[in-house]
Structure 1
Amino acid sequence: MIHLDPEQVRAARKGDRAALASVVQSLQLPVYGLAMRMLAHPADAEDATQEILIKIITHLGTIREDGAAGGWALKVASRHLVGMRKRSRVEAMRMSFKDFGDDLESGLADPDGSPDNAITAIAIEEIKIGCTLAMLTCLNRSLRIAYVLGDIFEMSDSEAAEVLEISAAAYRQRLSRARQEVTRFVKTSCGVVSKSAACRCEKRLTAAQDCGRISLGAPAFGLAALATDIPKLRRKIRRLEEGRRAATLMRSNPAFPTNVGDLIMEVMK
């Protein structure tokens, strides 16, 4: 998931500032993407990403093999995100899957604006993104990181087990449990995955606006382009085998943009 140029890593370890900036540039998006899926809130994910990047920068000299720096960085990031004492704002809500399902079913209504309107379409995409991120926080952190690495970032059992520093058997057990919980929830509560589920992204728009979770014209996830075609996405996911639908839904989120690494390099001047 994280790939670093061994030559840049080697040069950065020797004090080359330009090489260090390149390493940080390569790290900031994958680390932030992992943090977003673990913490489900942009500001909290940026704070965690900054802490992780500083840890990586300050311990870069301890790496034994420059070619293994990407895997080491992912270990650092995963260990930090699982072990954080502070909960993110979404984690602090301590939602169970039942609580979250009940919340989704409350306040469903047809949107005032047309889903084809660009601003409304982006808001609907934001709802899908926020929902899938919040859904992950219903898992405890150990199960969540296993699910993110395995089903969202599609790492093999051995790769993910190496990152989490556990046996492959233990990892498979965690991933299996996480998959079961996520799949059970989306089958009953997510209209993108299941026709029988009441919740639809577009029907959550009014409630999401009323409680301040989204603001039309001010996307929180850095969506600069027109949102994914929700009906098209729904059809695509439903054509998949049942066991693959939840993971495909999670992977449909765009890359989350951030410049936190650039800010760190500015501070270090």
Structure 2
Amino acid sequence: MIIIREDQVVAAREGNRAALDALVRAAQRPIYNLALRMLADPGAAEDATQEILIRIVTNLGALRDPAAAGGWALRITCRHLVELRKQSRTEAMRLSFEGFAEDLDQGPAPLAEAGLTKVEEAIALEQVKIGCTLALLTCLSRNLRIAYILGEIFELTDVEAARALEIAQPAYRQRLKRARAAVLDFTRAKCGIVSRSASCHCSRRVVPALKTGRIGLDGAIDRNDTAQPFDLQRLQDGVQRLESGRAAAALMRSNPGFETEVASLVLTLLDTDARTRLDQTLTCRPT
């Protein structure tokens, strides 16, 4: 999931700045994508990503096997996200599946009431879907949440996920089983993408989401954007063709790869007075 080349690690520990830059930039996106799904808040996810990248950089000198840098970085990432003391704004809401279901039932309205263009509708529907699926995950405890994200969204094997979480495989499988059952029960009952008979549909959530500021279209539309527009109907049809046990996972995996530029900030920090102290750590060799 996190790919860090052995030669980049070796060169970075010898003081090669280009190698260090490449290493940080290669790690930032997978770390941010894991952090955003764990915290359901872009600002909190960027803060966590920055902290994780700095931790990785400042501990490169202690890494005994440069060839295993990716797995090592993933363990650091998972440990940091599970043990993070500060809660994101979404986590602070302390959502339960029951409370989240009640929230989704508040104020549904026809999409036409939003008065949007077709392009704006597609963007709004995708934002609603992304926001809902991220918030849904926070109904799980952090331990169950990260097990679900690793196994169902990023599709790590039991061996890989258990190693990343530093727990035994049977313990990981039990966590994944519990998380999977909870998410599946909820989506089958509430999510119109997973089940046509469910009570909640993205199109009915756009108006209340715009009113409460949970989504916004300012700056979201690039008139020169030639990317394929979000097609909710196609997603719904594809998900509902799957076996029910895989439908919820397919919904979660439908979210895009999220982008961040937090690596630039981390690399800037390396150019400050702290750079000297970091370089001393990087050039240390394990005993």
Please state which band the TM-score falls in when normalised by the shorter chain.
over 0.9
Counterpart-to-counterpart distance in 2, 1:59 and 1:202:
47
May I ask how many residue pairs the two structures share in their alignment?
A: 266
Aligned equivalent of 2:250? 248
Match in the other structure for 1:122 = 123
Letter in 1 for 2:216: S
In structure 2, what residue type is equivalent to 1:104?
A: L
> Within 2, Cα distance between the matches of 1:250 and 1:114?
28
Q: Quote the offset at 1:263 in angstroms.
A: 1.6
Separation (CA, whole Å) in 2 of partners of 1:134 and 1:86 = 17
Question: Which runs of structure 2 are paired with 1:118-157 in the superposition (5 Å)?
Answer: 118-157=119-158
Residues 1:177 and 2:192 are matched in the alignment: no
Match of 2:199 in 1: 198
| Superposition deviation, residue 227 in structure 1 | 3.9
Looking at structure 2, the residues matched to 67 and 153 of structure 1 have their Cα atoms a distance apart, in angstroms, of: 21
User: For the structure 1 residues 116 and 187, does the alpha-carbon distance in structure 2 shift closer, same or farther, using more than 3 Å as the test?
Assistant: farther
CA distance in 2, matches of 1:187, 1:9: 45
Is the CA contact (8 Å cut-off) linking 1:36 and 1:42 kept in structure 2? yes
The match for 2:237 among 232, 235, 246 is: 235
Correspondence for 1:68: 68
Deviation of 1:108 (Å):
1.1
For the aligned residue pairs, the C-alpha RMSD in angstroms reads 1.4
Whole-Å Cα distance in 2 between the matches of residues 245 and 93 of structure 1? 27
Structure 2 length normalisation: TM-score? 0.90
The SS at the match of 2:89 is coil
Larger radius of gyration: 2
**2:7 counterpart letter in structure 1:** E
> Which residue is equivalent to 1:104?
104
Q: Return the alpha-carbon distance in structure 2 between the equivalents of residues 262 and 37 of structure 1.
A: 21
Instruction: Give the distance between the partners of 2:259 and 2:189, measured in 1 at CA.
Output: 31
**In the aligned structure 2, how far is the partner of 1:25 from the partner of 1:107?**
42
Task: Indicate the percent of aligned positions where both proteins have the same amino acid.
Answer: 53
Unpaired runs of at least 5, structure 1: none
1:103-154 superposed Cα distances (whole Å, 9 cap, x missing partner): 1111111113577711221111011000000000000000000000000000
- Deviation of the 1:208 alpha carbon: 0.3
